[in-house]
């Protein structure tokens, strides 16, 4: 049997996974990996932390070197070799060797495309200024680090508040640089629901980051080849010694499109469950390709490291052996850390579900990440999104300190198996006081969802239209006096059964407390005492204070 030849374009997350999987399953194949940059298999996810100084040695970012690939996997890695054209009829890739300047062609039996994504750039003058940066690879981080070391900038502006933007804000701030963050959407982390993302904004503001949300950057003032100001559409001028643009990425599809391969609705390379493109001898993985979304079962574009690695493995296996388990759909499970807090999500947010035309309900569980009586419990807010008809979990978001990742990973796992809120209510999680609670926040969220879906609790989310009724705060008197929602009357939960006559049974009652739990207890008392129209402000003051204040002012 003639030796099979697999050529891979792009040598980082998707490409490196494909190459090594192919080798492990096919010892005789010839495997060539073309990478246009200087390095293969580097940790792009670690770059912000190298810039910020948490990772001190650049070499730590090189997960595997060209030599490792040769010695351990007998993979012919060629760095500074750029694939410039694919000739599908001849099964050839045209390559430019940037070290020698020599063009050549490479034949293939199977071709795997893993060229990643390109940063989206605005069409302004001044993008070529020496202090404007994007962050995609090691050479970008080298440029940024060199600038920081040489120029010691005092002020930085980061444009775009997705996870790379936030990580850069934290790193630059940690270096003592006064940092402004500009985001076109009204909130940071635009994929999250607004009231969850705003919790991260509070953390950023507390650390002195200057937030410009719902603000459109529209250009630079450039002097002597340097940006000196970032101009916003509202007239704000942000003086800046350096600018980082992180407004998203677009799939790198030029090679594929030029070769006539099909692209999907998000302009990524369209692939089947084995990562094959419209040409079955050509695979595509990672940020260049679209994926199948776990919840919508439709094509989606989710450029993250996990899917790139896993789908690279699928493509490598299929290319090397002719078969492989189908790639699993992707929920977009992701996390960002900012100043010791974290924000994570999986699946659909409420706004994404509504946009997709999917009916959804949401609940909040607000609790410590481990038992409150054990020292060091950190509060987290967990939002669970589910389909009220099927009770299937659609997504979740969490913001807090420690333990955010665990809750989202548990829910992502339940979703992977099409879990319902009832499944989640019954998951058997490990517990000792320093690790969790016997009723974990994951369980609490599921219990609340069951109560809501079973009609045992009616709730109002922040922003929902409020019935014309009375607002009852069931916290203690000192708590109420310290802070309460405008218009609330106070009857502490402990006294409620004896003071029901102070409430008007003919008008709706909205009940609140700190996080929604005592209000739930109160709702149950009221509902079983003849009050017909009872509502819990979901998540209590923690979630409603801001929206209530804004509505009162409005």
Residues 39-58 that bind ligand FAD (CB under 6 A): 44-45, 47-48
CA distance 216 to 179: 17
Between 114 and 511, CB nearer to ligand FAD:
114
According to the binding rule CB under 6 A, does residue 306 interact with ligand FAD?
A: yes
Q: Which of 305, 356, 429, 500 binds ligand FAD (CB under 6 A)?
A: 305
- Which pair of tokens denotes residue 175? 């270096």
- Which pair of tokens denotes residue 471? 């607002």
Q: How far is the CB of 282 from ligand FAD (least distance, A)?
A: 14
Q: How far is the CB of 334 from ligand FAD (least distance, A)?
A: 6
Interacting stretch for ligand FAD, rule CB under 6 A, among 33-41, 149-157, 339-347, 419-427? 33-41
Residues 182-221 that bind ligand FAD (CB under 6 A): none
Interacting stretch for ligand FAD, rule CB under 6 A, among 130-138, 147-155, 231-239, 350-358? 130-138
- Which pair of tokens denotes residue 215? 């603000």
Say which residues have a Cβ less than 8 Å from residue 150's Cβ, sequence separation at least 6: none
Between 264 and 368, CB nearer to ligand FAD:
264
Cβ(18)–Cβ(320) below 8 Å: no
Q: How far is the CB of 139 from ligand FAD (least distance, A)?
A: 9
> Which residue number places its CB atom closest to ligand FAD?
286
Is 130 annotated in the active site?
A: no
Q: How far is the CB of 442 from ligand FAD (least distance, A)?
A: 22
Alpha-carbon distances of 482 from 19, 475, 485, rounded to whole Å: 61, 11, 11
Cβ(516)–Cβ(478) below 8 Å: no
Catalytic residue among 45, 130, 360, 430: 45
Between 337 and 514, CB nearer to ligand FAD:
337
Phi first, then psi: give them for residue 76, nearest 5 degrees: -85, 90
173: left (phi over 0), alpha (psi -120 to 50) or beta: alpha
What track of x and - describes contact with ligand FAD for positions 61 through 100 (by CB under 6 A)? ---------------------xx-----------------
Between 77 and 348, CB nearer to ligand FAD:
77
Cβ(359)–Cβ(349) below 8 Å: no
According to the binding rule CB under 6 A, does residue 332 interact with ligand FAD?
A: no
Cβ count near 497 (within 10 Å):
12
Number of residues this chain uses to bind ligand FAD (CB under 6 A): 35
Q: Which of 165, 286, 395, 441 binds ligand FAD (CB under 6 A)?
A: 286
CA distance 215 to 188: 11
> What are the residues facing 180 on neighbouring strands?
157, 210
CA distance 485 to 170: 33
Q: How far is the CB of 480 from ligand FAD (least distance, A)?
A: 42
Say which residues have a Cβ less than 8 Å from residue 455's Cβ, sequence separation at least 6: none
Say which residues have a Cβ less than 8 Å from residue 147's Cβ, sequence separation at least 6: 130, 131, 133, 153, 242
According to the binding rule CB under 6 A, does residue 10 interact with ligand FAD?
A: yes
Residues 145-174 that bind ligand FAD (CB under 6 A): 164
Between 147 and 435, CB nearer to ligand FAD:
147
Q: Which of 230, 238, 253, 255 binds ligand FAD (CB under 6 A)?
A: 255
Q: Which of 4, 6, 8, 12 binds ligand FAD (CB under 6 A)?
A: 12
Q: How far is the CB of 47 from ligand FAD (least distance, A)?
A: 4
According to the binding rule CB under 6 A, does residue 304 interact with ligand FAD?
A: yes
Interacting stretch for ligand FAD, rule CB under 6 A, among 134-142, 236-244, 263-271, 543-551? 134-142
Beta strands in 288-356 (DSSP E): 291-292, 299-300, 334-338, 341-347
Between 338 and 537, CB nearer to ligand FAD:
338
Reduced to 3 states, what is the DSSP secondary structure of residue 538?
coil
CA distance 448 to 504: 26
Q: How far is the CB of 537 from ligand FAD (least distance, A)?
A: 34
Of residues 118, 162, 146, 119, the one with CA closest to residue 51: 146
Burial 312-322 (b: 16+ CB within 10 A, else e): bbbbbbbbbee
CA distance 460 to 443: 21
Active site residues: 45
The binding site for ligand FAD (CB under 6 A) comprises 9-15, 34-37, 44-45, 47-48, 82-83, 114-116, 135-137, 164, 252, 255, 286-288, 303-306, 308, 334
């Amino acid at each position: 049997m003639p030796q099979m030849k697999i050529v891979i374009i792009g040598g980082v997350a998707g490409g490196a996974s494909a190459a090594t999987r192919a080798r492990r399953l096919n010892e005789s194949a010839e495997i060539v990996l073309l990478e246009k940059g200087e390095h293969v298999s580097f940790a792009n996810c670690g770059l912000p932390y190298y810039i910020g100084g948490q990772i001190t040695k650049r070499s730590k970012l090189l997960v595997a070197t060209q030599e490792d690939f040769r010695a351990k996997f007998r993979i012919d890695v060629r760095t500074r070799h750029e694939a410039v054209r694919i000739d599908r009829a001849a099964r050839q890739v045209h390559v430019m060797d940037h070290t020698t300047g020599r063009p050549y062609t490479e034949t293939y039996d199977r071709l795997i495309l893993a060229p990643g994504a390109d940063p989206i750039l605005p069409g302004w003058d001044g993008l070529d200024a020496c202090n404007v940066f994007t962050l995609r690879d090691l050479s970008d981080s080298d440029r940024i680090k060199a600038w920081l070391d040489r120029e010691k900038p005092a002020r930085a502006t980061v444009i775009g508040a997705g996870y790379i933007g936030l990580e850069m804000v934290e790193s630059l701030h940690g270096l003592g640089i006064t940092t402004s963050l500009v985001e076109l959407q009204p909130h940071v982390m635009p994929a999250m629901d607004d009231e969850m993302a705003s919790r991260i904004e509070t953390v950023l503001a507390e650390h002195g980051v200057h937030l410009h949300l719902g603000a459109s950057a529209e250009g630079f003032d450039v002097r002597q080849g340097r940006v000196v100001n970032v101009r916003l559409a509202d007239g704000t001028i942000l003086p800046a010694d350096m600018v980082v643009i992180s407004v998203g990425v677009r799939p790198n599809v030029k090679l594929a499109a030029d070769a006539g391969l099909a692209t999907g609705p998000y302009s990524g390379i369209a692939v089947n469950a084995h990562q094959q493109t419209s040409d079955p001898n050509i695979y595509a993985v990672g940020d260049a390709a679209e994926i199948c979304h776990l919840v919508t079962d439709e094509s989606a574009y989710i450029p993250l490291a996990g899917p790139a690695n896993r789908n690279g493995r699928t493509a490598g296996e299929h290319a090397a052996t002719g078969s492989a388990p189908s790639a699993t759909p992707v929920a977009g499970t992701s996390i960002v850390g900012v100043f010791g807090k974290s924000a994570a999500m999986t699946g659909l947010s409420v706004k994404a579900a509504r946009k997709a035309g999917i009916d959804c309900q949401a609940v909040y569980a607000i609790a410590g990440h481990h038992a409150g009586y054990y020292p060091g419990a950190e509060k987290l807010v967990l939002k669970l999104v589910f389909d009220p008809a099927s009770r299937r979990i659609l997504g979740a978001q969490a913001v807090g300190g420690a333990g955010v990742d665990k809750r989202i990973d548990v829910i992502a796992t339940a979703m992977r198996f099409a879990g319902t809120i009832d499944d989640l209510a019954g998951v058997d999680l490990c517990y000792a006081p320093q690790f969790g609670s016997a009723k974990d926040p994951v369980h609490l969220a599921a219990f609340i969802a069951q109560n809501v879906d079973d009609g045992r609790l009616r709730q109002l989310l922040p922003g929902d239209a409020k019935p014309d009724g009375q607002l009852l705060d069931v916290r203690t008197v000192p708590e109420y006096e310290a802070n309460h929602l405008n218009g609330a009357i106070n009857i502490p939960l402990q006294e409620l059964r004896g003071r029901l006559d102070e409430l008007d049974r003919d008008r709706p009652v909205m009940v609140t407390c700190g996080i929604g739990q005592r209000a739930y207890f109160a709702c149950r008392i009221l509902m079983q005492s003849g009050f017909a129209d009872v509502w819990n402000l979901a998540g209590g003051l923690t979630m409603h204070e801001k929206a209530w204040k804004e509505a009162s002012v409005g």
